[in-house]
């Protein structure tokens, strides 16, 4: 049994699932009602048509990133459409700065190409800025004004995304260029600082012009900080293998056990996710979310097999923690089973990784301070 999904698959294109978050439907419903009350049903339908067309453009923008990433052997989990835009879920960020540059710039390049195409189509309709407003949804949806709106929106999307500030594509473009001249960590710090500088600039402009820029500033500032922290985590975890942090003492449950017995295991310890095994073979994973969903829907008397997840990620003892952490973030997993030769040998959770990161960061910081203390003075 799986917990209720927050998004559902619209289609699978070129092997990449395109998913729609439920809040996007809520956003469309809100826009339909609000515009109908403000300007009537005809204008509202035209507006909804534009939003759908714009998000098709956003989807193509994300496919620019995804297909370029896949060209370099990076797995793309899916593309998810949200009310604020689209997100390409890459399993990892390219380590090669040149590859990161190409992946980052591919999205804005698609948006700018779409802007040019829509502009040409608009000119072919003979549309002029002096043309009257549309009289019906059909006239708008197939007219020059609609194409002009799409051209403008894609131009803005492309230009906004190349601003050299995380989390926009331009932040990654800047870092990739800097990383060709210095180490990756320092390049990230400089790019993050520049991004936060842009955030202060947007906030200042927002105070005297459009207040919406203040929210954009907050988005950029937080995104820059998050990128810097994520890069620091990748640095510390580095090439640390899973077997150094995995736990080998954990409860295993069988598919035929009642869910109520699993609750007793959870009450007595701090384990929240349980591997489901039949002999030496793993059959599934029972997560905290799937346990709660099963309890709400069917109660504690069902068998574990009715609540476990059968679609899950497995790790090898020799997988590197930096990649594992990114995979766990991408799949929203709190822990994953570790298999060797098909047999369950351990479990790794975000708690294990977080504990290692905390101690290793402190150890490296102390080592750096000691090296600075004993470094001979420069004469």
- Indicate if the pLDDT at residue 132 is higher than 60: no
pLDDT at residue 212 is higher than 60: yes
Least confident of 47-51, 141-145, 251-255: 141-145
- Supply 169's token pair: 């594509």
Q: How many angstroms separate the CA atoms of 165 and 178, rounded?
A: 13
Task: Give the helix ranges, DSSP H, for the chain.
Answer: 22-39, 41-71, 97-124, 137-141, 144-161, 169-179, 184-208, 212-237, 259-268, 288-298, 321-331, 350-374
Averaged pLDDT score across all residues of the chain = 82
Model confidence at 38, in pLDDT bands (50, 70, 90)? Answer: low
φ, ψ for residue 131, nearest 5 deg: -60, 145
Give the separation between CA 25 and CA 41, rounded to whole angstroms: 18
CA torsion angle for 282, 295, 77, 168 (degrees, to 10)? -140
Return the closest-CA partner of residue 87 out of 223, 238, 231, 235: 223
Query: With bands split at pLDDT 50, 70 and 90, how would you rate the model's confidence at 116?
Result: very high
pTM of the model: 0.71
Looking at residues 114-130, what average pLDDT do you find? 79
Would you say residue 353 has pLDDT above 80? yes
Q: Please report, for the chain, the start and end positions of each structural domain, with discontinuous segments joined by +.
A: 1-162, 166-237, 242-356
**What is the β-pairing status of strands 16-21 and 76-82?**
parallel
Q: What is the DSSP letter of 377?
A: P
As a whole number of angstroms, the distance between CA 47 and CA 65 comes to: 27
Indicate if the pLDDT at residue 113 is higher than 90. yes
Q: What are the φ/ψ torsions at residue 284 (nearest 5 degrees)?
A: 175, -175
What span, in angstroms and rounded, lies between the C-alpha atoms of 284 and 301?
A: 19
pLDDT band at 131 (very low <50, low <70, confident <90, very high): low
Closest residue by Cα to residue 337 from 346, 326, 328, 324: 346
pLDDT at residue 377, as a whole number: 59
187 touches 175 (CB < 8 A): yes
Please report the pLDDT score of residue 133 as a whole number: 52
**Residue 126 in this model has a pLDDT that exceeds 60:** yes
The DSSP letter of residue 305 is: G
Share of the chain above pLDDT 70, in %: 85
Pick the CATH number of 242-356 from 3.30.230.70, 3.40.190.10, 3.10.580.10, 3.40.50.300: 3.10.580.10
Tell me the mean pLDDT in the region 320-328. 84
For the cut 70, the answer to whether the pLDDT of residue 290 exceeds it is: yes
For residue range 152-163, what is the model confidence (pLDDT) as tens digits? 889 988 998 898
Q: What pLDDT shows up at residue 135?
A: 44
Average pLDDT over residues 107-118: 93
Top-confidence residue, 86 or 154: 154
pLDDT for the residue numbered 326 = 79
Distance CA 50, CA 54 (A): 6
- Helices 350-374 and 212-237: crossing angle in degrees, nearest 10, is 80
């Amino acid at each position: 049994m799986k917990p209720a999904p927050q998004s559902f698959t619209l289609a699978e294109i070129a092997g990449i699932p395109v998913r729609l978050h439920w809040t996007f439907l809520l956003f469309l419903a809100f826009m339909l009602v609000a515009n109908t009350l403000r300007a009537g049903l005809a204008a509202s339908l035209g507006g909804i048509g534009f939003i759908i067309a714009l998000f098709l453009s956003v989807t193509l923008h994300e496919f620019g990133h995804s297909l370029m990433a896949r060209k370099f052997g990076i797995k793309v989990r899916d593309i998810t459409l949200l009310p604020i835009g689209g997100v390409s879920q890459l399993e990892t960020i390219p380590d090669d700065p040149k590859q990161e540059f190409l992946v980052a710039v591919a999205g804005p390049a698609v948006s700018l190409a779409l802007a040019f195409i829509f502009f040409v189509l608009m000119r072919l309709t003979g549309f002029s800025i002096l043309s009257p407003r549309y009289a019906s949804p059909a006239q708008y949806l197939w007219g020059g004004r609609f194409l002009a709106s799409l051209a403008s929106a894609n131009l803005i999307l492309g230009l906004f995304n190349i601003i050299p500030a995380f989390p926009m594509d331009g932040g990654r473009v800047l870092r990739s260029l800097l990383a060709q001249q210095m180490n990756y960590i320092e390049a990230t710090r400089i790019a993050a600082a520049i991004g936060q500088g842009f955030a202060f600039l947007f906030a200042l402009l927002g105070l005297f012009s459009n207040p919406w820029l203040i929210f954009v500033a907050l988005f950029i500032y937080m995104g820059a900080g998050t990128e810097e922290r994520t890069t620091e985590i990748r640095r510390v975890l580095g090439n640390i293998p899973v077997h150094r942090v995995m736990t080998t003492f954990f409860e295993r449950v069988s598919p035929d056990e009642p869910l109520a017995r699993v609750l007793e295991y959870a009450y007595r310890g701090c384990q929240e996710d349980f591997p489901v095994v039949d002999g030496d073979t793993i059959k599934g994973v029972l997560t905290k979310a799937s346990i709660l969903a099963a309890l709400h829907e069917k109660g504690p008397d069902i068998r574990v097999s009715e609540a476990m997840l059968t679609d899950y990620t497995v790790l090898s003892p020799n997988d590197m923690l930096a990649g594992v952490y990114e995979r766990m973030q991408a799949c929203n997993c709190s822990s994953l089973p570790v298999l060797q030769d098909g047999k369950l040998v351990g479990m790794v959770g975000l708690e294990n990784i977080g504990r290692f990161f905390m101690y290793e960061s402190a150890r490296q910081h102390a080592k750096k301070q000691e090296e600075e203390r004993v470094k001979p003075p420069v004469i």
